[in-house]
Amino acid sequence: MLLIGPDDSFNRMLSEKIGAGLVLMERRVFPDGEVCPRVMNEVRGSDIVLSLRMKAGKCKPNEYLLEMLFTIRNLKEHMNAGDITLIIPYFPYARQDAIFRLGEPLSSKYVAELLEASGISRVISVTVHLHRIDSFSNLFNKAYVINLSGFKSLADRLRLLDLKDPFILGPDTESINWARELAESYEVEEYDAFTKERDVQTGEIKTTVKKIDLSGRDVVVVDDMVSTGGTMANAVKAAKKMGARFVVSTFVHPVLAPGSIDKIIGAGADAIIASDTIEWVGSKASVVPTIAEALR
């Protein structure tokens, strides 16, 4: 088995933990935006683990998807690779897991079908954002699929902060599941969530705050991802107003559109913890051990 991916700390650590040689991949982008990913060594006959992550900030999910599709097709059709397991820590277009308005696409399903058609045998992802589909595997027809939890890595990092009387708080209704999952991993009993409404036309967010006694407590505001930072910032600000002593903003996927971190810090966050499912310099919680265990 060979691990193929960019030469970064994520893939070097993964290679070591699963005992597979690392074959480097060049991520070339032409001036007009076309991508030309290149596998740097021969892989004929070998089973492959392909590990690619998207970059935080000015995310380019379309470029990311084409890199994957081109590389998988190349490996299967021109480089004579064996079975291919795709490590896609952040699954793009997962939020479009239903048709919300007439004429919109069911994007998450289409992405899964494109990946299957390219030739993958297995897909491993982390905390896939699906709320209207029972299981990540329901997006696929043939591939063996694993949806790992990214919250264990967050909990491990939180333990280094030595929080006092911690309370886990989700910033919106859907995040109650994430709050519960982190509370279980972090081994605390108390958790709750606010509610949120988003205008499907404008994207404007309105957070409804329920009264929770947070006086003098350390609060962990948790979500699966942060994109613009608006939802997270609203929850951090509300926690501070309710008397929280120390507030940690924590999330699995650091999508982080420009200005999002400033919003969260400006709202009063005392610390930010994110995993490394997406390439971001501020990621301190690694999901590599979780992925390596699944691969083994």
> What are the boundaries of each domain within the chain?
2-149+286-295, 151-274
- Identical fold at 2-149+286-295 and 151-274? yes
Return the amino acid letter for 181.
E
Q: What angle do CA 92, 53, 159 make, to 5 degrees?
A: 100
Q: What is the DSSP letter of 249?
A: E
Q: Is 237 designated active site?
A: no
Domain 2-149+286-295 matching CATH 3.40.50.2020: the answer reads yes
> Do the beta carbons of residue 133 and residue 97 sit within 8 Å?
yes
Paired with 246 in beta bridges are 218
**Among 109, 196, 237, 240, which one carries the catalytic annotation?**
196
Domain 151-274 matching CATH 3.40.50.720: the answer reads no
pLDDT along the chain (296 residues), means of 10: 97 98 96 96 96 92 96 97 97 86 91 95 93 81 95 97 95 91 96 74 62 92 96 95 97 96 98 98 97 96
Taking the chain, what is the end-to-end CA distance rounded to the nearest angstrom?
Answer: 11
pLDDT the model gives residue 169: 97
- Cite the beta strand spans of 136-292 per DSSP E: 144-148, 167-170, 191-193, 195-198, 205-208, 218-226, 246-254, 271-274
Q: What is the DSSP letter of 203?
A: -
Name the residue among 73, 88, 62, 64 with its Cα closest to residue 118: 73
Q: What is the pTM of this model?
A: 0.92
Paired with 77 in beta bridges are none
Q: What is the DSSP letter of 7?
A: S
Name the residue among 22, 17, 45, 94 with its Cα closest to residue 294: 17
What span, in angstroms and rounded, lies between the C-alpha atoms of 25 and 43? 12
Return the amino acid letter for 79.
M
**Other Cβ atoms within 10 Å of 64 Cβ, number:** 20
pLDDT the model gives residue 201: 61
pLDDT the model gives residue 100: 83
